[in-house]
Amino acid sequence: MSRLFLASVGLVALATNAAAQEQQTVAAEEAAAVEEDAGGIADIVVTASRRAENVQNAALSIQALDSEALTRANVSRPEDLAAVAPGVQIGTAGPYAQPYVRGVGNYATNSLAESPIAMNFDGVYIARSWATRGMFYDLDRVEVLKGPQGTLYGRNASGGAINVISTKPRIGETSGFVEGQFGNYGHVQGTAALNVPVSDTFAVRASGQVIDRDGYLSDGYDDEKSEAARLQFLIEPRDDFSLILAGNYQHIHGRGVGGGVLTRPAGEKFLGATDNPLVQEIFQAEPFLGPVNVFPQKDGFSEVTIYSLSAEMNWDLGFATFTLLPAFRDATLEGLQYSPGFSVYNNEHNEQTSVEARLGNDGGRFKWVLGGYYYDERTTNPDAEPGLIVLQGVSATVQSRIKGTTRSYAAFGQGTYEIVEGLRATAGLRYTYERKTDDELTQSYSFPNEEPPLCANGEFDPDTVSPPLFCRLDIPNSGKLTYNSVTWKAGVEFDVAPRSMAYANVSTGFKSGGFFPLAPAPNTFRPEKLTSFEAGIKNRFFDNRLQVNLEAFFWRYKDHQESYLGPTSIPGVFAFITTNAGRAKSYGLDTDIMFRPTLDDEFSLKVQYNKSNYDDFRFQNLTAVFGPPVTGCAVGPVVDGEQTVDCSGQSLIRAPLWSGTASYSHTFDMGESGSLRAGVDTQFSSATYLSIDFLEAGRQKAFAITNADLTYETADRGLSITGYVHNIFNEMVFNQVFRSPFVSPNNPIADPDGVLLGTVRPPRTYGLRARYNF
């Protein structure tokens, strides 16, 4: 194990000793009184361990963001979370969100791709990353869990989980809010919620949101247009029973995510690819391919519609509480995007059914949970229309049939036992059985030969999707994969003092294997697995005014899944391939400090140090088709038209060495006239590679993004008005890039690294937000 990790654990041990000396003198009853001190740091209750507990008592790496923090940061999309959660990078490729935690993620771009960061809404896992937009409103909190969550969350949580929890109905309370927001880029946003107590045992909460914003890029891409609504019913006929029924509707549309080009005229920022005169010139100047090369156009669009139903029943049986969580989601996606530099049309229909049942007891010396989980997902192309059309100029592929299914069963249990007062041990185990099927029909189009026969592969087809690609090869694919996995967790935690808790865990997680599309068999990859070692301490000092949390972590990654554009088993046919790259590791230290020296002042500093590298990462480049690879990795000799690209020793992508946030706010108390809160915050990051090309042009440089806001609030907290400026210095920060394979080093006007297109974080934005609570 590395010296750095050992040093990090040493720091945790020193902090533990310091906390013990500082706080052993604090009496238990005095600590309880301090917890109620209004001037102290507010507590956030989380349910990450399947039971309600103070986030400071949760023995795992977790960051909880309450509704106020989410509103201040203008979080309305998954990728916005990257601005407030150090160690989390969330990029976008077309409609697909791509979350990474400490370098663990996946370049998800198709109907079969899944992320190793599980996204859950009100306890329901969402498999399709494009179906996570339009749900960030009327929220109680967001929980970001870093590290494997294989025991309680199961498949596809090898790198962590993001739990989005909505505000629930309340019996006996008539309340709600109306919020309006106006800003630059034509930003208009309205959000409202109403809680109605129908009777002493029944309450209803209705909420909704509408967003209309122009694109951040000059050509209109990267806009945000959505309408969403949520209706929840709470039934509590007696103290030991409750039932919540919920329905959600999400509609996201507009131009969709576009691409900024890393190669651009000097001084230009947020220039869309279709407005950049260099883009078309470079693509058309490519030797031999120029006349047919596909490059970004202005006709992109995105259309996503989601309906979901769920229920949560909790029944106190005395010895345990029985929880039942059934859910159903129906989602459709249609869109055209150019984020990789060529044309990609998506058209898919996804149905998801899940049921989770749990028995749990969080009282006494032994806290435990036992449960079972069932998951069924089906993805098809609607109305027999193509599910995927990729136009690349030198070739084209059409997926005319998509029938993908996933069925998963799991049984799990986890318990925490208090061995002696203040010392607890945790153990957990989960067994997962999974079956995947894939039934596809793909047409691959290419150029005719110069000599007869015209089409050596396939047949001549005058109805081609992209002239002059008249040779069509039909590629049927069908298969079934099954996986059995056992994941586990073992840990210990110790109350060093009334407000200080140290912990250490070893846990494992697995991300399912599967298929990748548009390629003939073999088109499968194995599951990836991750083992995590973590040790931390969570402290509150000085009458609950100073919070210092430290965590050291060491992650070992096996059969790491990576995706790249590469050759298939049919000569001349290539696809976006997912492969098991090998081994990798990630280790470092997380620091979370919050300080409230007075009732009116609050400082916060969150810093992550993350050292990572691929121990073993190799893949093949089809040099006979693409030419020599353009990469920052080592390259082997040409063998049968292919070269091995060896990226072993490189750092994990989207895993900066340093990242964090810092903030300060001061509240001016104006008595009966209300209060004025002024805040400033900065997110910072060192440089990181954003793609497995490891090119200097695809490396996001170190950056700092600074925001400021000023909020007036009436004395009764009924009305608040906020003015804000985000990204004050208009920094252009990319969150993912993709190098076009159809621009080579032989291009006379391109840079040596070719053309890299990427999606960007928001530019400078400013506006006003008003909220009325009742």
Q: What are the pLDDT digits (tens) for 427-445?
A: 999 999 999 999 999 999 9
| Mean pLDDT (whole number) for 585-605 | 96
Residue 220 above 90 pLDDT?
yes
What is the C-alpha to C-alpha distance for residues 313 and 324, in angstroms, rounded to an integer?
5
Q: In terms of pLDDT, which residue wins out, 261 or 357?
A: 357
Structure tokens, 560 = 């790491």
| Phi, psi (deg, nearest 5) at residue 741 | -75, -5
Place of tokens 């916005």: 80
- What is the secondary structure of 470-507 as a DSSP string? -EEEEEEEEEEEEEEEEEEEEEEEEEEETTEEEEEEEE
Asked whether the predicted pLDDT for residue 29 surpasses 60, the reply is: no
Cα(273)–Cα(738) distance, rounded to whole angstroms? 13
Which pLDDT score is estimated for 265? 67
Whether residue 38 is predicted with pLDDT greater than 60 in this model: the reply is no
Q: Which has more pLDDT, 235 or 266?
A: 235
Q: How many CA atoms lie within 13 A of 734 on its CB side?
A: 30
Q: Is the pLDDT of residue 725 over 80?
A: yes
Q: How confident is the model at residue 16 (pLDDT cuts 50, 70, 90)?
A: very low
35 has pLDDT over 90: no
What are the residues facing 188 on neighbouring strands? 182, 212
What local confidence, expressed as pLDDT, does residue 18 receive?
Answer: 40
The span from the CA of 556 to the CA of 486, in Å, is 17
> Which residues neighbour 451 within 8 Å (Cβ) at sequence distance 6 or greater?
none
pLDDT confidence of residue 5? 40
**Counting Cβ atoms within 10 Å, is residue 725 exposed (0-12), middle (13-18) or buried (19+)?**
middle
Tokens 């690349």 correspond to: 392
DSSP structure class, residue 667: E
Query: What is the structure's pLDDT at 627?
Result: 79
Local structure of residue 638 (DSSP, 8 states): -
pLDDT tens for residues 90-127? 988 888 889 999 999 888 777 778 889 999 999 999 99
Give 655-682 pLDDT, tens digit per residue.
999 999 999 999 999 999 999 999 999 9
Which of 137-141, 410-414, 737-741 has the lowest average pLDDT? 737-741
Question: How many alpha carbons lie under 13 Å from residue 534 in its C-beta half-sphere?
Answer: 30
The model's pTM: 0.92
> Rounded to whole angstroms, what are the CA distances from 580 to 242, 398, 405, 569, 629?
45, 26, 22, 17, 20
Cβ(216)–Cβ(197) below 8 Å: no
- pLDDT on residue 574: 66
756 and 697 Cβ atoms separated by less than 8 Å = yes
CA gap 536, 504 in Å, rounded:
6
227-256 pLDDT, tens digit per residue, is 999 999 999 999 999 999 999 999 999 999
Mean of the per-residue pLDDT values of the chain: 89
- Residue 764: count of CB within 10 angstroms of its CB: 18
Residue 573: per-residue pLDDT: 65
H/E stretch holding 172: none
Greater confidence (565 vs 45) lies with: 45
Q: What pLDDT sits at residue 642?
A: 84
Poorest-confidence range of 81-85, 502-506, 621-625, 730-734? 621-625
**Contact predicate 654/100, CB 8 Å:** yes
pLDDT of residue 244: 98
Query: In angstroms, what CA-CA distances link 396 with 301, 342, 573?
Result: 20, 10, 10
Give the span between the Cα atoms of 441 and 474, in whole angstroms: 7
Q: Residues 598, 586: contact at Cβ < 8 Å?
A: no
Reported as a pLDDT band with limits 50, 70 and 90, residue 277 is: confident
124, 82 Cβ separation under 8 angstroms: no
Record the tokens describing residue 315, joined without a space. 């029944």
Is the pLDDT assigned to residue 510 strictly greater than 70? yes
What is the predicted pLDDT for the residue at 563? 80
Query: In the chain, what percentage of residues exceed pLDDT 90?
Result: 69
Query: Tell me, what's the pLDDT at 28?
Result: 36
User: What is the model's pLDDT at position 8?
Assistant: 43
Task: Classify domain 3-773 by CATH number.
Answer: 2.40.170.20
One-letter amino acid of 555 = W
Q: Where are the domains of the chain?
A: 3-773
Supply the pLDDT for residue 285: 93
Q: Which value, in Å, is the radius of gyration of the alpha carbons in the chain?
A: 26
Give strand ranges (E) for 317-454.
321-337, 343-361, 366-380, 388-391, 396-420, 423-446
Q: Which residues pair with 589 in a beta bridge?
A: 552, 609
Asked if 603 and 591 touch (Cβ cutoff 8 Å), the reply is no
Q: In this predicted structure, what is the pLDDT of residue 14? A: 39
Owner of token pair 């998954």: 78
Amino acid at 296: P
